[in-house]
Amino acid sequence: MHLLALVLTALVALLHLGFMLLEMVFWTRPLGRKVFGLDADFAARSAKLAMNQGLYNGFLAAGLLWGLWLGSRGICLFFLGCVVVAGLFGAATVKRSILYVQALPAILAAIAVHYL
């Protein structure tokens, strides 16, 4: 794969590792509450849901890293596609900024993986 494709795919994987940490570790702490705009009560009540969501983000990161490790365009494209769908769904149902933070980087990485 082209260096740009590798870098963009690795960036998406790192973003999802970061999302995983925010949702699984920092959700109820000041950093997590600030990032997601949560009050302490809601964060405490929704912590188990956030941990589950974080686990899925970890799976996406693992899949992307696996694809990079194998040098497999197909695996990378599959997991980037999953990230795009998740980002579009999140933007439509939760917060528009998810489109730019999650879906757009994955779209750019997928274009690079496919065409370069």
Q: What pTM does this model have? A: 0.95
pLDDT of residue 4: 97
CB atoms within 10 A of CB 93: 8
Q: Is the pLDDT of residue 72 over 90?
A: yes
Confidence of residue 10 (pLDDT cuts 50, 70, 90): very high
Confidence of residue 76 (pLDDT cuts 50, 70, 90): very high
* Core vs surface per residue 60-91: b (16+ CB within 10 A) or e: bbebbbebbeeeebebbbebbebbbebbbebb
Q: Is the pLDDT of residue 1 over 90?
A: no
User: For tokens 């579009």, what's the residue?
Assistant: 88
CA distances from 86 to 3, 14, 34, 70, 106 (A): 25, 16, 22, 24, 10
Burial zone of 1 (CB within 10 Å; 0-12 exposed, 13-18 middle, 19+ buried): middle
For residue range 23-63, list pLDDT tens digits in order: 999 999 999 999 999 999 999 999 999 999 999 999 999 99
